[in-house]
Chain A
Amino acid sequence: MFADVAAKASVPCAVACLAACTTFSDTIQSTERGLAQQQPKTALAAYEKVKPPPQDLVLYLMNKGMLLRMSGDYAESTRTLEEAKSHIQALRALSLREQALSITVNDATKSFIGEDYERVMVNNYLALNYLEGGQLDAARVEALQVDLLLREKAQKTTVVTPYAEDAFARYLTGIVYEDEREWSDAMIAYRKAYEAYKKQLKSFSVAMPETLKHDLIRLADRMGLAEEAGRYREEFKIEQTLSEAELLERGEIILTVHAGLAPIKRERATTVPNPATGRILRIALPQYRSRAQPFVYANLSVDSSSAKTSRVENVDAIAVKTLDAEMPLITARAVARMAAKDTVAAAAGSGSSGGNSSASTTAALLGLAVNVAGVLTERADTRSWFTLPGEIHLARLPLSPGEYKLKVELHGRDERVLDSSEIKVTLRKGEKKYLSRHWIPTNLEVKP
């Protein structure tokens, strides 16, 4: 009798307790507010108040590194992202303890090392930090590391996944090699980027960037690959483009725009009482919710020259498709966990139907406690690098050596100007200057 009452009472009790528990995505609202107000320093201050548990250290460093970059502190951002990278390296070995916890408690007990695309993004942003700080050789180190990471990933992967390559990482690598005047390596990287953009068009809806089309022709010409250059000219319908020699006589502005925020992971949970046993069953799964993205393109202009950005990376689509590909495994683990927790709760309350009323009550209470504990700990792993942009755009503008006041205009739909700013640069002959602009909309609503 008591056992029945306890079981019925447990449902609202567990639901109330669950409301009090928080997932990672609940803890970042004040940081998001700061970002939406275009105040990265405020967002950083809010985020630094988060005390990450040991298993979330890498995630904390990734977000902090990005917020520092947005705040303009490139040196500290680099130090933080390098720290994240070294922790990732140490945590890549399998932990049996964490595996056991993920099967018995929840997936968020595992140390976060990020998805493949997030780990590649650490290298990408470090490379951009170095490039913007004028440390070309250090950016080249990141280019080599990203190549190693993608090679290791290709060796490990036995099934075809949507994120098999990182087109933007390959493209950025090509730019670094070209700046180093390592023409053959640049050509190889541009080719890899070309292949990746072609393959991923369907999955991530990122068309071949306009700049890459010109880069391929220019490098193929420089390498004396007339047939290949002719093929690109025909495919892209481009007759004339600046030659490498002409480009070296000028300087070049390379602008990256990091727009919006990556999708946020939310929990999608179902809690139901099992009428046959009276125990509660709960399953919690992660789900990405995309953010609003009003940004369409940016225009970089000075005097009579201008360049329009092309989308080079759709982080939003990569994140969503990566999680989609992993969902069968995550779901299987959640179902196994639910069954395991229910079996333990059943075993704990197994004496409740016996003759001795005192022992029966104790067993029922124990069963209830185990059941409630199992339900309370069933939370989805909603950790993700939420400060990544939703999209990355890139423009290349060759200019004669000199001093310039560049105008960067961000455009939304219907050509609406979202933001406008001016940057002063001095460009030397043959020099490439790397600039970036982070822009986050005021309204960070998630798409339903």
Chain B
Amino acid sequence: MKRAVSLNAGVALLALAALSACATKVERLDTSTAVDLSGGWNDTDSRAVSQEMIQDSLSRAWLQEFRGRPGQARPAVIVGEVRNLSHEHINVNTFTLDLERALINSGKVDFVATKQERLGIRDERKDQDLNARQDTRNAMGKELGADFMLTGTINTIVDPNGNQQLLFYQVNMTLISLADNRKVWVGQKDIRKLVTRSKLRF
């Protein structure tokens, strides 16, 4: 009798263990932890590239030169188009936002809202003109014009061989002076990855 009970308990435990293996498992990760699943472009690449590029950009001569001009304190920068010319569908928006964050947090430059954002803000200002109290209204025509525009491309070279792929990402960024179209800084960041895909699955 006792043996039968312990057998049943054992079976129940085994069943429980089997069921728990099927349950959805969520593990919270630190955002700085690098996790590579497919081998493609991911959040780690996006963040690392944006931070390194902005740091490089802010340490170059153009910033000092701009600050040296009479009456100029901090340059106003805008992020223009970052084109994805790679073989993957990369969410360029998250990369652009990473760039913006790194630029703003540096405290060395002023940052101007994007074209799309500006349209929304202008609508709001128009609305204020009609509906807001006079002492709280923000007038039109007082926007800060950008001095420089940051544009870029993400390119890849893929070299496949069997179940291995050598992925080479090259991110090129250019800072252009809006006053005279001068390229004041050109940055480049490369990432190389060797992705080995499993030949077998269940």
A positions within 8 Å CB-CB of B: 82, 89-97, 137-138, 140-141, 144-145, 148, 151-152, 155
Within B171-202, the residues touching A (CB, 8 Å) are 197-202
* Cβ contact within 8 Å between B84 and A148: no
User: How long is the Cα–Cα vector from A151 to B158 in the complex, in angstroms?
Assistant: 11
Which residues of chain A come closer than 8 Å to B85, judged between CB atoms?
Answer: 137, 140
CA distance A89 to B38 in the complex (A): 9
CB-defined interface of B69-88 with A at 8 Å, one 1/0 digit per residue?
A: 00000000000000111111
What residues make up the interface of B, taking CB atoms closer than 8 Å to A?
38, 83-89, 156, 158, 160-162, 197-202
- Chain B residue with minimal CB distance to A146? B87
- The docked-state distance in angstroms from the alpha carbon of A91 to that of B162 is 15
A94 with B201: CB separation less than 8 A: yes
19 contacts between A and B (CB under 8 A): A89-B38, A90-B201, A92-B197, A93-B199, A93-B200, A93-B201, A95-B200, A95-B201, A95-B202, A97-B202, A137-B84, A137-B85, A138-B84, A141-B86, A141-B88, A141-B89, A148-B87, A151-B160, A152-B160
Complex Cα gap A141–B89 (Å): 6
Evaluate whether A82 and B201 lie within 8 angstroms (CB atoms) in the complex, with A148-B160, A152-B160 already known: no
Cα distance, A151 to B197, chains bound together (Å):
17
Residues of B within 8 A of A96 (CB): 200
What residues of chain B lie closer than 8 Å to A144, measured between beta carbons? 86-87, 156, 158
When distances are taken between beta carbons in the complex, the residues of chain A under 8 Å from B89 are 82, 138, 141
Q: Is the interface of A mostly helix, strand, loop or mixed?
A: helix
B200 touches A94 (CB 8 A): yes
A93's closest neighbor in chain B, by CB?
Answer: B201
Q: Considering only CB atoms, which chain B residue lies closest to A180 in the complex? A: B85
Q: Are B158 and A148 in contact (CB under 8 A)?
A: yes
In the docked arrangement, what's the CA distance between A137 and B85, Å? 7
* Partner of B87 from A93, A94, A141 at Cβ < 8 Å: A141
CA A137 to CA B91, docked complex, whole Å: 12
A141 and B200 form a contact (CB under 8 A):
no
CB-defined contacts of A145 to chain B, threshold 8 Å = 87
Contact across chains for A137 and B83 when beta carbons are under 8 A apart: yes
Residues of chain B within 8 A of A82, CB atoms compared: 89
B160 and A155 within 8 A (CB): yes
Please report the C-alpha to C-alpha distance between residue A219 and residue B149 in the assembled complex, in whole angstroms.
33
Q: Which residues of A contact B199 (CB under 8 A)?
A: 93-94
| Nearest B residue to A91, CB-CB | B201
Complex Cα spacing A151 to B165, Å: 12
Q: How far is the CA of A392 from the CA of B181 in the complex (A)?
A: 45
Distance of A158 from chain B, by nearest CB (Å): 13
In Å, the complex CA distance between A101 and B67 comes to 72
Complex: A305 Cα to B179 Cα, angstroms: 45
Check B88 against A93 for contact (C-beta < 8 Å): no
Chain A contacts of B161 at CB under 8 A? 155
CB of B160, distance to nearest CB on chain A (Å): 5
Q: A95-B202, A151-B160, A155-B160 are in contact. Are A141 and B197 (CB under 8 A)?
A: no
Chain A residues with CB under 8 Å of B197's CB are 92-93
Chain B: which residue is nearest A111 at the CB level? Answer: B201
- B32 to chain A minimum Cβ distance, whole angstroms, is 26
Besides A137-B83, A140-B85, A144-B87, 18 more A-B contacts (Cβ < 8 Å) are A91-B201, A92-B197, A93-B198, A93-B199, A93-B200, A93-B201, A94-B199, A94-B200, A95-B200, A95-B201, A96-B200, A97-B202, A138-B84, A141-B87, A148-B87, A148-B160, A152-B160, A155-B162
